[in-house]
Amino acid sequence: MNKRKSYVYKITGMALMAMVISSCSSDDDNDDLGNWIDKSVFDGSARSSISGFTIDNIGYMGVGYDGDDYLKSFWAYDIEGDYWSQKADFPGVARNAAVGFEIDGMGYIGSGYDGVDELNDFYTYNTATNTWAEIASFPTTRRNAVAFGINGSGYVGTGYDGENDRKDFWKYDPGTDTWLELVGFGGNKRRAATTFTINGIVYLGTGVSNGVYLDDFWAFNPTTEVWTKKLDLDEEDEYVITRSNAVGFTLNGYGYIACGEYGGTTSTVWEYDSSTDEWEQKTNFEGTSRQDAIAFSTGTRAFIGMGRTGSLYLDDLDEFFPLDEYEEED
């Protein structure tokens, strides 16, 4: 949504009409900006609370929950070819609500929930050999955390440990296979938050704690390992960004938060401009509104798929084109 300032003019009726027509046309153009294109439906069972990562032009994802069972299967989506292929199963116990990230071409998945306990085991995936190896466990049990890989390290933080929501952050060093606790995150405790990365800076927001949806928004510099508070997600009256269980991704230098849950599933999509610390609403996700979906992004292409709405588990996938006008029939 565009921010607007109100001005008072002494003008003729004809001029006022021209301004209103121009303003309405501009609003309509912005409301319709962003288009979604159907892509290949997932070959496996519909699921939510999946974990994954993107390496080159392949989106990898697995584990999750299908409404009956916790899952171990692991899949790859070929972005250029628009097809799915099954890979070696995740070696840990079946789970959902785990985290995934990428470091220097290697994938990592760990933590989560197996239907009884929160988990802390972690594994790395080699795309070249289609093999898994166990690594050092995360220092505490956790589900619904956030994670990201950047500058040769992995970071995991926030989430729920089985008793409390958390706000701690840990750094994983693949060279030494060790975790180091970081300090300095001034945000609230939370679970089911969202991150994306723009120009080497990681942005974190959304999530829920004790039934309260959180509106604080933060930027993390991995070089200095310093967190900086940004404008809240409800800074402007027209912002409706606050939610949990959403997806975050980066596309063409902008950050996006999409879908999720806020008193019910939502399909709204918001675009973040890091140069102005401002948000603009884009065309809603075209598929069924959902939470606990997954997003793949190469930086120049982005996709959202899977997830659930209520007890309906989903297996569709859509690609987002933020600069295209909305076409209902795509």
Q: 195-218, pLDDT tens digit by residue?
A: 999 999 999 999 999 999 999 999
Q: Could you count the other beta carbons within 10 Å of the beta carbon of residue 268?
A: 19
Which residues face 248 on adjacent strands? 257
pLDDT digits (tens, 9 = 90+) for 242-262: 999 999 999 999 999 999 999
pLDDT of the residue at 18: 39
Domain boundaries, the chain: 13-325
In 3-state terms the chain splits into helix, strand, coil percentages (rounded to 5) of 5, 50, 45
pLDDT of the residue at 33: 87
Cβ contacts of 18 within 8 Å, gap of 6 or more: none
Of the chain, the percentage scoring pLDDT greater than 90 comes to: 88
Cβ contacts of 78 within 8 Å, gap of 6 or more: 57, 58, 84, 85
- CA distance linking residue 169 with residue 156, whole number of Å: 6
Cβ contacts of 299 within 8 Å, gap of 6 or more: 250, 251, 252
Query: CB burial class (10 A; 0-12, 13-18, 19+) of residue 137?
Result: middle
- Among 83, 81, 77, smallest CA distance to 50 is for 77
- Predicted structure pTM score: 0.90
User: Quick check: helix, strand or coil at residue 109?
Assistant: strand
Do 119 and 111 contact (CB within 8 A), yes or no? yes
Superfamily of domain 13-325: Kelch-type beta propeller (2.120.10.80)
Residue 133's pLDDT band (boundaries 50, 70, 90)?
Answer: very high
pLDDT score of 58 more than 90: yes
